[in-house]
Amino acid sequence: MPIAPPLPTKVAPHLFVILGATGDLTGRKLLPALYRLKQQGELGEQSYILGTAVDTDIDDAGFRARCRRWLAADGVKPEELGSGWCDEHVFYQTLGSGGADEYAALAKRIAALEQQFKLPENRVFYLALPPSVFPTAISRLGEAGLNTSKGWVRLVIEKPFGRDLKSAELLNDIVHQHFKESQVYRIDHYLGKETVQNLLVFRFANSLFEPLWNRDRIECVEITVAETLGVEHRGGYYETAGAMRDMIQNHLTQLLTLTAMESPSSFDAQAIRREKAKVLLSVAPIGPEDVVFGQYTQGTVDAQAVPGYREEPGVAKDSSIETFAALRLEIANWRWHGVPFLLRTGKRMPRHVSQIVISFRRPPVSLFRPFGDCEIQNNSLVITVQPDEGFDLGFEIKKPGREIALDSSRLSFRYSEMFAPLPEAYETLLQDVLIGDPTLFVSDDWVEDSWRIYTPLLERRPPVIPYAAGTWGPEQAKSLVKDLGTQWITR
Amino acid sequence: MPIAPPLPTKVAPHLFVILGATGDLTGRKLLPALYRLKQQGELGEQSYILGTAVDTDIDDAGFRARCRRWLAADGVKPEELGSGWCDEHVFYQTLGSGGADEYAALAKRIAALEQQFKLPENRVFYLALPPSVFPTAISRLGEAGLNTSKGWVRLVIEKPFGRDLKSAELLNDIVHQHFKESQVYRIDHYLGKETVQNLLVFRFANSLFEPLWNRDRIECVEITVAETLGVEHRGGYYETAGAMRDMIQNHLTQLLTLTAMESPSSFDAQAIRREKAKVLLSVAPIGPEDVVFGQYTQGTVDAQAVPGYREEPGVAKDSSIETFAALRLEIANWRWHGVPFLLRTGKRMPRHVSQIVISFRRPPVSLFRPFGDCEIQNNSLVITVQPDEGFDLGFEIKKPGREIALDSSRLSFRYSEMFAPLPEAYETLLQDVLIGDPTLFVSDDWVEDSWRIYTPLLERRPPVIPYAAGTWGPEQAKSLVKDLGTQWITR
């Protein structure tokens, strides 16, 4: 059985090029994460950042000044930072209007820095750009010869990866014209490395659950990603997306594939990706009766009155974009045939929670039926991803006392009770890029296979039903679970 | 499917006759339990106690005075008790030397009391007697015509039920000469009703465990009943018994059958007894190499120096009685073939605990092997019967951090955390006798089938190996588990 060669444990000398370096993502996430990794000694001896953006009015000094402000805003004390790190490790090169000549100038600057610091031409290109600019930027990088080097070249792309199957295929085509798939790191920061690894260890290092993890034992699987927030300042973007594109196609489907996948042949990226892809290929077509869209109206969340979606800034007064989506699908393979998978996400829900609920079938007979209060509840396993990561096992016990009566109880485990806080998602993801571990990143076929499932639903969108902010979405969502004789379990 | 008729929920008017009423058991257990049941309104309107014993020097008044002292010693305040209950409900009749004429007198006294209080001739005969007297007492009751009445007659026998297969068969024969098996309640107070019911509900009201409860998923089952006490003042009795007779044949074998039994067809006594009996019939003969006997020598328990068994009062200086027994057996049926069941009991162990440990097989492959600290431990389910009843589920999680490393964790449940203290075992058992629920009592064939397993071991006793008080028995006990690549799990 081929085992992937072990990954290097140390980061090699490199240049980290950020395209869109003056934007929000760089300031709030990338730079702080790189700084903290550096402080922890995780970036090796030689790690340099080259920011590049449309801005022509700043130079190295100006960019470094911004970086200092960003780090200060992230809680890094100026006296801790000093002047050294930014001055010695951070550089800036304008891309101006993003023409071919400007990419040629970028290539020259990269070569100059690599010569100055005797770097082995290991390069990361991080596209911190609006998705509309991805195709151009990728083509220009390729045309400027920046897709290869004497070292390694890695291209990092933030979601969204297309907005339907066709655009995703197009984007992948452009990527593959210039880069090999093994060079590409599609980042989905929602699933931190820890969470994914916790899930896989939980499933495959325990013998308790695997024998139960199938259609014979499981009645349904419910995956909920609920936010209490509305669209906030992202109304303009959200109007072009909606809950299906923003959450279901990526985050919830990641949780779905991690939950449903077969055991991989090993714990390396390729083996895990292969199993996740197999799950997507087995998803049966979703009928229109199995999808419910909703849009929040004004209501109350956390005891605060909040406006409806159509009153948010940047949102059309007659918008038909869904802020809630619930759907029911089936994975048509030996393990899962006939088990409903219920996916649900929404903004302005009653609470902020991301949860996978495995609801087991009830015992075939109730021995305790003749004795009064003995209705047996389904055993359940609740895997909480956010907040307060952990899991709960729900089971039945006997109430003490002379009569036989059942009661439901829970065994709970919380990572936070056992361990210190987990590292920030971006830190581990950037480190993985630098080490070359693609496990947590999204492959080209995963993106396309996922869009293949959902694109038909977006082409014949169901009606968008209003729901009051602070509720679990439209009443109609209950129709998806009504034959299960139950409510949605996460509440 | 025949369902047993529902049991009455109320206790019918009755006379509770205690044979051996001046003894320790009556004073410490029976009378306090009956009094508390009365206080809780569980005994119905008409419940009378007739004590009888060899003592000829006391009468009703003298016995009532004793009862008051016993209740006071049990924490009943004299002002709470008043004079009413004992005077109105408690009576005494001597049995003298226990001859036929004295039993005839007892029968007359019973008839007189029943006439006085207009009772429907419902009678309990509780043998609070030394086992050597059982046969005579049972025969005399029968010969005096006390085995039948216009109401119901129930005979309660305390363990031990024989001291080997032959004596158990003999005792059952005598019982059956005079009583129907359905009239007989063999009491084994070790397993309170709650514990048994908790175990059965845990197994059969949850779908999580049943699919795992077999040879494919379970590596071994370990049952430990450990005491920190020595023989105390019971040296004389213990010299005629030993750990096999005192604990293994009854208590541990009860736990064994409850753990290993198939699902009964219903929750009634007959159905449960049938399944328990099937387990015993499937136990394969136990080889001499699968049994280890031990005897404690002086040592330290709970930081106190304690004497060895042979120094205890009433014990022979060269006694070869075992105070520790460990054995390994197999249940040769479809569910359990090849799974070792490990039974162990001892006095003067390091801690007081009764536990069933289900140790599950490990996953067939370790995906995490290539990554350092990733040895997978067996998942386990630990059912604690005493003290602090509850259970623990042991499983593997990922240690947070950049490396993949496993850690073992536990989910715990304690009945005491959820519920008020459980009722005293004798209260529920006596109430069951009075209601006529034999579920928790031992049947004639259970007794014989259990002796059939262990009698061969007692006929060719293994050597008795000394162990220091405060240890888990002789080192040799480890030989029983050495092929499992493990230690005894309860420690």
Read off the tokens for B36: 């508390």
From residue A469, give the alpha-carbon distance in Å to each of A307, A327, A341, A488, B315: 8, 20, 25, 18, 78
Three-state SS at B107? helix
> Rounded CA gap, B285 and B329, in Å?
8
Cα A33–Cα A39–Cα A42 angle in degrees, nearest 5? 75
Closest CA to A238 of A113, A149, A323, A337: A323
- B212/A212 touch (CB, cutoff 8 Å), yes or no: yes
* Cα B36 versus chain centre, distance: 21
Q: Does residue A413 sit at the B interface (CB-CB below 8 Å)?
A: yes
- pLDDT over 80 (residue A371): no
Q: How far apart are the first and last CA of chain A?
A: 44
Nearest to B367 among A266, A393, A420 (CB): A266
Q: Which phi and psi angles does B308 have, rounded to 5°?
A: -80, 165
- B207/A200 touch (CB, cutoff 8 Å), yes or no: no
**Out of A83-87, A222-226, A382-386, which region has the weakest mean confidence (pLDDT)?**
A83-87
Read off the tokens for A480: 């998806």
Nearest to B363 among A205, A363, A400 (CB): A205
Q: Looking at beta carbons, which residues of chain B come within 8 Å of A258?
A: none
Neighbours of B40 (CB within 10 A): 12
Q: Does residue B334 sit at the A interface (CB-CB below 8 Å)?
A: no
- B201/A411 touch (CB, cutoff 8 Å), yes or no: no
- B205/A368 touch (CB, cutoff 8 Å), yes or no: yes
Residue B439 near residue B268, CB atoms below 8 Å? yes
Q: Looking at beta carbons, which residues of chain A come within 8 Å of B395?
A: 202, 206, 208
> Rounded CA gap, A378 and A486, in Å?
10
Percentage with pLDDT > 90 across chain A: 63
Q: Does residue A420 sit at the B interface (CB-CB below 8 Å)?
A: yes
Q: Check whether the bond before B288 is cis (ω within 30° of 0).
A: no
Q: How far apart are the first and last CA of chain B?
A: 44
Q: Does residue B422 sit at the A interface (CB-CB below 8 Å)?
A: yes
Taking one residue from A and the other from B, the number of pairs with CB-CB distance under 8 angstroms is: 165
Nearest to A201 among B211, B368, B402 (CB): B368
Q: Looking at beta carbons, which residues of chain A come within 8 Å of B210?
A: 363
Nearest to A362 among B207, B400, B431 (CB): B207
Closest CA to A259 of A194, A160, A393, A355: A355
Neighbours of A139 (CB within 10 A): 16
Q: Looking at beta carbons, which residues of chain A come within 8 Å of B434?
A: none
Q: Which positions 207-226 of B are in contact with A (Cβ < 8 Å)?
A: 207-208, 210-212, 216-217
Q: Which positions 337-366 of B are in contact with A (Cβ < 8 Å)?
A: 360-363, 365-366
> Rounded CA gap, B176 and B411, in Å?
48
- pLDDT over 60 (residue A98): yes
> Rounded CA gap, A205 and A233, in Å?
43
Q: What is the pLDDT along chain B (491 residues), one digit of tens a residue?
A: 344 556 677 899 999 999 999 998 999 999 999 999 998 888 888 999 999 999 889 999 999 999 999 999 988 887 777 667 888 999 999 999 889 999 999 999 999 999 999 999 999 999 999 888 999 999 999 999 999 999 999 999 988 889 999 999 999 999 999 999 999 999 876 776 677 788 888 899 888 898 999 999 999 999 999 999 999 888 988 999 999 999 999 999 999 999 999 999 888 888 888 999 999 999 999 999 999 999 999 999 999 999 999 999 999 999 999 999 999 999 999 999 999 999 999 999 999 999 999 999 988 877 776 666 667 788 999 999 888 888 889 888 888 766 778 888 888 888 877 666 666 778 888 988 999 888 888 899 999 999 999 999 999 999 999 999 999 999 999 999 888 877 888 88
- Determine which of B196, B379, B389, B402 to mutate to test the interface with A (most A C-beta atoms within 10 Å): B402
Range A416-453 burial, b when 16+ CB lie within 10 A, else e: eeebeebbbbbbbbbbbbbbbbbbbbbbbbbbbbbbbb
Three-class DSSP labels, A302-348: CCEEECCHHHCCCCCCCCCCCCEEEEEECECCCCCCCCCEEEEEECC
Q: Looking at beta carbons, which residues of chain B come within 8 Å of A415?
A: 397, 400
Neighbours of A291 (CB within 10 A): 23
Q: pLDDT: is A35 or A487 the higher one?
A: A35
Q: Does residue A201 sit at the B interface (CB-CB below 8 Å)?
A: yes
Concatenating the DSSP letter of every residue in B179-233 gives: S-GGGEEEE-TTS-HHHHHHHHHHHHS-TTTGGGSSTTTEEEEEEEEE-S---GG
> Rounded CA gap, B353 and B386, in Å?
5
- B207/A404 touch (CB, cutoff 8 Å), yes or no: no
What interface predicted TM-score (ipTM) does this complex get? Answer: 0.80
User: Which residues make Cβ contacts (< 8 Å) with residue A162, sequence separation at least 6?
Assistant: A168, A169, A170, A171, A172, A447, A451
> Rounded CA gap, A181 and A441, in Å?
11
> Rounded CA gap, B123 and B114, in Å?
10
Residue A391 is predicted with a pLDDT of 87
Closest CA to A257 of A441, A446, A391, A383: A446
Cα B221–Cα B226–Cα B231 angle in degrees, nearest 5? 145
- Determine which of A398, A413, A439 to mutate to test the interface with B (most B C-beta atoms within 10 Å): A398
Read off the tokens for A451: 């869009």
Neighbours of A378 (CB within 10 A): 25
Active-site residue list of B:
251
Q: Does residue B368 sit at the A interface (CB-CB below 8 Å)?
A: yes
| Residue given tokens 């197009």 in the structure block | A170
Residue B488 is predicted with a pLDDT of 87
> Rounded CA gap, B433 and B110, in Å?
19
Smallest CA–CA separation between A213 and chain B, in Å? 10
Return the residue of B nearest to A405 by Cα.
Answer: B201
From residue A309, give the alpha-carbon distance in Å to each of A155, A295, A377: 36, 7, 38
pLDDT tens figures, A240-296 = 999 999 999 999 999 999 999 999 988 888 888 889 999 999 999 999 999 999 999
Q: Does residue A6 sit at the B interface (CB-CB below 8 Å)?
A: yes
Residue B373 is predicted with a pLDDT of 62
From residue B489, give the alpha-carbon distance in Å to each of A225, A409, B409: 41, 26, 15
For residue A465, list its beta bridge partners: A294
Residue A139 is predicted with a pLDDT of 96
Q: Does residue B117 sit at the A interface (CB-CB below 8 Å)?
A: no
From residue A5, give the alpha-carbon distance in Å to each of A46, A143, A269: 24, 32, 11
At residue A45 the predicted structure's pLDDT band, cuts being 50, 70 and 90, is: confident
Q: What is the largest CA-CA distance in chain B?
A: 86
Residue A5 is predicted with a pLDDT of 57
Q: pTM for the full model?
A: 0.85
* E strand map for A316-474: 324-329, 341-346, 353-360, 380-386, 390-398, 406-414, 464-468
Residue A294 near residue A323, CB atoms below 8 Å? yes
Q: Does residue A371 sit at the B interface (CB-CB below 8 Å)?
A: yes
